[in-house]
Amino acid sequence: MKTVFRTLTIFILFSLQLFSSVNLNSSNSFIKGEPFIFEFEVSGSSINFPKIEKIEDYVVQNLGTSRSLQIINGKYSEKISQKFQILPQKEFTIPSFIFEIDGIKIESTSKKILEKKADKTISDNFDLQLISSKKEAYIGEEILLTLIFKYKKNLQITNLGFEPPHFENFWYKKVDTNRRYEENEYIVQELEYILFAQKSGKVEIKPLSIIVQQVKQDSRFGNFSFLGVPTEKKIYSNPLEFEIKELPENTDLIGEFFINSEIDKQELKEGEALSLKLNIKGVGNFDDIKDYTLELKDAIIYANKPKIETKYSTAGLEGTYEKIFSIVPNSSLIIPSFSIKYFDKKQNKVIEKRTKEYKVLVNNIKNKEEPILEKAVKKEPTKVIEKSSSFEEKLLFFLFGCFVTLLIFGLFTYVRISKNRIKKDNNPLIKKIKSSKNKEELLKILLPYLKYNSELDELIFKCEKTNKFKEIKKTIISLVKQLDIKG
């Protein structure tokens, strides 16, 4: 009897384990700076997941759970998938976790994840290229970096995911150019950045990436599927390496600069103010110019924040620096000169330029004004006559003030509501939907917004099957306005 009981127990446990499983799905490697995603798939009738909050020193983010029912040999079981994300900086191991499935504790397998470098994507359909204006530069010297992305015209691209890059060991700014053109059978997009190295030696820019969402071609719909789910593909660029040199000692600027100053008057009365304007122009790293200050004895000085403007041209990063000082001197004084020191790469030497100094004469007029002041003191004080208002007048003014306030608030509310209504009506997506003449055109417009909202997905599927095009079109416009989807 005991033997039969043991056999039965072993059989039950074996059957439970047969329908219970834990699978870890993930890549074997990661790219530094990019999120790493892994997934646990668990099958069973009753499932308890462990809390996964940290792996080594990395915080784990739960990306969501999906459930499904499956039938194996006539028996029902549930399949639960949970996705997680971490941002690793070096190789790590996903440890084993204990899952409770149908009352039995099952341990997952551990997995070591290695770091790998991103390789440039080689494809006939896509190309992402980084091109720099120079490979050698000084710290602070501008480098023009051009990002060129190409893709074939016949591809059904629904979205391009490009996050602003982070160039390690460089200070950078985007150039206000965004070129898009066609070249042979490709559509080409170009972005430009100005880089300034902050570290000497060999400095690398790692490959940048773009996530491309495209719809799979389907011959049943003329190589286009209205309801196909877009697939994602990550396209990597080439890396770049630079040789960065140190600037000479006590120099932060490189380029060619011109400095000038001017004052609006050199002779003034006591208590009057004069304006001093400082200007710098030229080509170079203007954002590294340190703020100029002015200290003078026996004078009050006010100064605004410097105004710096730059633009990129064929000469390099052209710029202007402007600062205005307002000076109220108590006596005659000398305003010293300002200077700028920079490294001139063409002449291969440090150059210092100065403005001129100014002698300011202050005329003391205190004694001349004394009789006038004495006369003013002897003058009889002015009498102020106050007029009191009656209670009825005060009440009338109060009620009138309330009426005006309510009127202004009502007008403000009306204008705001009208603006929102006009803004929604001017939404480019709504305009496109309204202009669609048939359901095929409407489906092409709505394709990029699949998976955006479950209600919208249902209407898109319904639109494909229904013959009542105008009715479904009105319902879609109403929902797009509610969701405030930007076209």
DSSP result, 436-472: --SHHHHHHHHGGGTTS-HHHHHHHHHHHH-S-HHHH
pLDDT at res. 220: 53
Domain boundary among 93, 115, 137: 115
pLDDT bracket for residue 384 (50, 70, 90): very low
pLDDT at res. 378: 44
Report yes or no: 289 and 278 within 8 Å, Cβ to Cβ: no
In a domain, residue 405? The reply is no
Q: Are residues 229 and 266 in the same domain?
A: no
Residue 135 has pLDDT above 80, yes or no: yes
pLDDT at res. 339: 96
pLDDT bracket for residue 72 (50, 70, 90): low
Query: Domain limits at 222?
Result: 126-245
- What is the number of other CB atoms lying within 10 angstroms of the CB of residue 49? 16
Q: Are residues 196 and 151 in the same domain?
A: yes
Q: Bigger pLDDT: 464 or 334? A: 334
Number of domains in the chain: 4
Q: Are residues 268 and 207 in the same domain?
A: no
Residue 369 has pLDDT above 50, yes or no: no
pLDDT bracket for residue 457 (50, 70, 90): confident
Q: What is the 3-state secondary structure (H, E, C) of 383-425?
A: CCCCCCCCHHHHHHHHHHHHHHHHHHHHHHHHHHHHHHHHHHH
Q: What is the pLDDT averaged over residues 284-297?
A: 93
pLDDT at res. 20: 58
Residue 444 has pLDDT above 80, yes or no: no
Query: In 3D, which of 269, 330, 324 has the Cα closest to residue 296?
Result: 330
Q: Are residues 261 and 345 in the same domain?
A: yes
C-alpha radius of gyration, the chain, whole number: 37
Q: Are residues 137 and 237 in the same domain?
A: yes
Residue 31 has pLDDT above 50, yes or no: yes
Q: Bigger pLDDT: 484 or 215? A: 215
Q: What is the pLDDT averaged over residues 91-113?
A: 93
Report yes or no: 196 and 172 within 8 Å, Cβ to Cβ: yes
Cα–Cα distance for residue pair 276/262, rounded to 1 Å: 6
pLDDT at res. 423: 54
Residue 368 has pLDDT above 60, yes or no: no
In a domain, residue 143? The reply is yes
Q: Are residues 96 and 195 in the same domain?
A: no
Residue 476 has pLDDT above 80, yes or no: yes
In a domain, residue 399? The reply is no
Q: Name, in order, each residue with C-beta under 8 angstroms of 170's C-beta and a sequence gap of 6 or more.
A: 195, 196, 197, 198, 203, 205
Q: Are residues 195 and 240 in the same domain?
A: yes
How many residues would you count in the chain? 487
In a domain, residue 281? The reply is yes
The least confident of 79-88, 186-195, 362-371 is 362-371
pLDDT at res. 424: 54
Q: Map tokens 């007048």 to a residue.
A: 393
In a domain, residue 11? The reply is no
In a domain, residue 414? The reply is no
184: phi then psi, degrees, rounded to nearest 5 = 55, -120
Report yes or no: 141 and 196 within 8 Å, Cβ to Cβ: yes
Residue 191 has pLDDT above 90, yes or no: yes
The least confident of 107-121, 131-145, 339-353, 377-391 is 377-391
Q: Are residues 185 and 296 in the same domain?
A: no
Q: Are residues 137 and 214 in the same domain?
A: yes
Q: Are residues 153 and 201 in the same domain?
A: yes
Query: In 3D, which of 201, 134, 140 has the Cα closest to residue 341?
Result: 140
Q: What is the pLDDT averaged over residues 408-412?
A: 75
Domain boundary among 245, 279, 304: 245
Question: Can you read off the two tokens belonging to residue 347?
Answer: 């002449």
pTM, rounded to two decimals: 0.58
In a domain, residue 408? The reply is no
Q: Are residues 133 and 55 in the same domain?
A: no
Q: Are residues 229 and 137 in the same domain?
A: yes
In a domain, residue 336? The reply is yes
Domain boundary among 333, 348, 367: 367
pLDDT bracket for residue 63 (50, 70, 90): very high
CATH code, domain with 27: 2.60.40
